[in-house]
């Protein structure tokens, strides 16, 4: 009789469906954000109960949520969702998970990046099919409603409203013809703060095509030291 094939390929499914593994904290994604936080994150491990808590350094994870058993039955006990809290400054922060009297710190640490400049925009949503009156959200850092406004293409600047500290801000899309327009962050005197000089369309990133709202464009490794804005060229498109 021929030997039976090993059943190792069934092991992960068995562990997930039975949830027989002990408590542990394994990973998180994404692995960094600006110091303002505000980025959606998922922390993965096993043995997570309804009392699960997560800290980044000494700061609790914000807006903690657990998988819905009706729609994510295989993630129950293994994932916890939330929003990255703010940090006091750039650098590494240990991520610790506790539940059911157990506690574990993930080996890799979360990294907080210093904002490279004023009015930094890395992503825009929605980025197409925009019409006048729509609410458009900017994702980045150092977005201050008291100091900054937004100009779409050649439009007059419009005010912005903070939606998560200085990492997210929204504005009401002004009336514009169909087409694609660069978003400029300006100060109260109308001076363009972002994109900075030299960030032309040939150098800009397609930040409007990021996979989901809040996705973070990786900043340059030297960003905390240069003080110069990360070169991106955010834009939105009007029309169908």
pLDDT in tens, 69-122: 999 999 999 999 999 999 999 999 999 999 999 999 999 999 999 998 899 999
| Residues 73, 118: Cα–Cα separation, whole Å | 43
Do 140 and 198 belong to one domain?
A: yes
Dihedral pair phi/psi, residue 185, rounded to 5°: -95, 125
Do 102 and 160 belong to one domain?
A: no
CATH number of the domain where residue 86 is located: 2.60.40.10
On the question of pLDDT at 20 being above 60, the answer is no
Within a domain: residue 39? yes
- The answer to whether 136 and 171 are in contact (CB under 8 A) is yes
Higher pLDDT, 229 or 150: 150
- Closest among 82, 24, 107, 95 to 56, alpha carbons compared: 95
- The answer to whether 208 and 95 are in contact (CB under 8 A) is no
Q: How far is CA 162 from the centre of its chain?
A: 15
- The answer to whether 67 and 79 are in contact (CB under 8 A) is yes
Place of tokens 């009297």: 101
Domain tally for the chain? 2
Do 109 and 179 belong to one domain?
A: no
Rounded to two decimals, the pTM is 0.78
On the question of pLDDT at 182 being above 60, the answer is yes
Q: Give me the domain span that covers residue 124.
A: 120-238
Least confidently predicted of 16-25, 43-52, 144-153, 214-223: 214-223
Do 210 and 228 belong to one domain?
A: yes
Place of tokens 């997560």: 54
DSSP code at position 5: P
Residues in the chain: 240
DSSP code at position 225: H
In this prediction, residue 202 carries a pLDDT of 32
Do 125 and 217 belong to one domain?
A: yes
Do 131 and 233 belong to one domain?
A: yes
Domain-terminating residue out of 67, 94, 113: 113
Question: What token pair was written down for 230?
Answer: 């990360």
The helix (run of H) or strand (run of E) holding residue 12 is helix 11-18
In this prediction, residue 232 carries a pLDDT of 64
Hey, is 122 helix, strand or coil?
Answer: strand
């Amino acid at each position: 009789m021929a030997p039976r094939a090993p059943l190792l390929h069934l092991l992960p499914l068995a562990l997930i469906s039975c949830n027989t593994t002990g408590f542990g904290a394994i990973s998180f994604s994404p692995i960094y954000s600006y110091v303002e936080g505000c980025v959606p994150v998922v922390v993965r491990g096993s043995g997570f109960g309804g009392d699960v808590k997560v800290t980044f350094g000494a700061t609790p994870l914000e807006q903690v949520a657990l998988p819905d058993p009706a729609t994510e039955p295989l993630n129950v006990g293994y994932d916890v969702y939330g929003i990255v809290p703010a940090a006091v400054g750039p650098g590494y922060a240990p991520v610790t998970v506790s539940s059911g009297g157990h506690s574990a710190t993930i080996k890799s640490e979360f990294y907080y990046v210093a904002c490279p400049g004023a009015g930094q925009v890395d992503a825009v949503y929605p980025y197409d099919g925009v019409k006048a009156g729509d609410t458009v959200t900017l994702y980045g850092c150092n977005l201050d409603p008291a100091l900054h406004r937004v100009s779409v293409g050649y439009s007059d600047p419009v005010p912005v409203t903070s939606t998560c500290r200085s990492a997210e801000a929204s504005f009401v899309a002004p009336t514009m013809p169909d087409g694609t327009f660069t978003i400029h962050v300006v100060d109260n005197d109308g001076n363009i703060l972002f994109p900075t000089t030299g960030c032309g369309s040939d150098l800009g990133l397609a930040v409007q095509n990021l996979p989901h709202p809040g996705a973070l464009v990786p900043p340059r490794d030297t960003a905390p030291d240069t003080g110069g804005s990360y070169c991106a060229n955010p834009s939105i498109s009007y029309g169908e």
